[in-house]
Structure 1
């Protein structure tokens, strides 16, 4: 039986489902981004970012996000794009597979989800030590919350199955 079916859900259930679904959507966006990186060259990516950030930069030439996106896209090389595409595709696919398995209530998927998220958190903490950003802090906190929720739900599912 899937976690998405059935009544009698408490706030833990709904919080867990919301966190896991958001993690799955994040994985889907990463897959789409990875596929887009595979078909676009660095100049096209920079042109797209320039087009997307131009209205914001016209309004506020020092806009934090727009200036950083523009700077990052201007420094892209072929190998950086290939690495980013591979990273996003693998990262996204792992998340989507695990989220799907967890939502289908596959007990084996819970420890895997926790382990994968802890590995992501470890890498993110390294990245935070090297070059901290508010977005990475938020992502790391969100991943930690999903780990706690997944652990809690895993314990509940095991108790229900083996009681």
Structure 2
């Protein structure tokens, strides 16, 4: 492999690994936020949002994120809170499941991961059309990059572990050689 190609491959591996690390963190945060939403009433969610954003608004009264959070929870109904909880929990579990499967190196799960992430991208695109926001646009773009990198790794028959080994300067594992039909491993050796 030439030096330029090796450098390009390492950059792809780095983006792939960082992207999946963010997916894992994002999935965990969604789960941690979604579970309490199952049990909280909208008024309690609004009180929690005020507590969480109070310090930031004291420091910077024009903080955009704090104002967006407060505005978002101020209009929540009980049904919307339950929907948000269910969406966050399912989305978080799916992301954590995808990351765990890809990390284990199960290449047959790549198509499922691509389909699940693609489904999230379609849903987010639909939501973006209805309720455009910079955050949703960035999340959708991020998911598209992860889908593209996952397709790339799947086509190259690589696991997340192969990307880690590449980043550490080690050669990727070669797939195990299968013995000819009717031959046991002891006979093949």
TM-score, normalising length: structure 2: 0.73
Q: CA deviation at 1:64?
A: 2.4
CA shift digits 1:67-106 (9 cap, x unpaired): 2211221112221111111111111111111110001110
Q: Distance in 1 between matches of 2:91 and 2:148?
A: 20
Looking at structure 1, the residues matched to 133 and 111 of structure 2 have their Cα atoms a distance apart, in angstroms, of 29
User: 1:62: Cα distance to partner?
Assistant: 4.1
Other-structure match for 1:3:
none
Structure having greater relative contact order (Cα 8 Å, sep ≥ 6):
1
Cα separation, 1, equivalents of 2:122 and 2:141: 12
Residue 107 of structure 2 is aligned to residue 102 of structure 1: no
Structure 1's unaligned 5+ residue stretches are 1-8
Q: Say which one has the larger Rg.
A: 2
How far apart are the structure 2 equivalents of 1:110 and 1:135?
26
Q: Give 1:59 deviation, angstroms.
A: 4.6
Q: Which residue of 2 aligns with 1:81?
A: 81
Q: CA deviation at 1:11?
A: 3.0
Residue of structure 2 in register with 1:72 after alignment: 72
In structure 1, the residue matched to 2:130 is 130
SS of the residue 2:105 aligns to:
coil
Aligned pairs for 1:1-163 within 5 A: 10-157=10-157, 161=175
Q: Give how far 1:155 is off.
A: 0.9
**Post-superposition offset of 1:162:** 9.2
Shift of 1:129: 1.3
Judging changes above 3 Å, is the alpha-carbon distance between structure 1 residues 162 and 85 closer, same or farther for their aligned structure 2 residues?
same
Deviation at 1:133, TM superposition (A): 1.0
What per-residue deviation string (whole Å, max 9, x for no partner) do you get for residues 13-55 of structure 1? Answer: 2321221121122111111111111232221111111122223
TM-score between both structures, scaled by the size of structure 1: 0.84
Q: Tell me how far 1:157 sits from its aligned partner.
A: 1.2
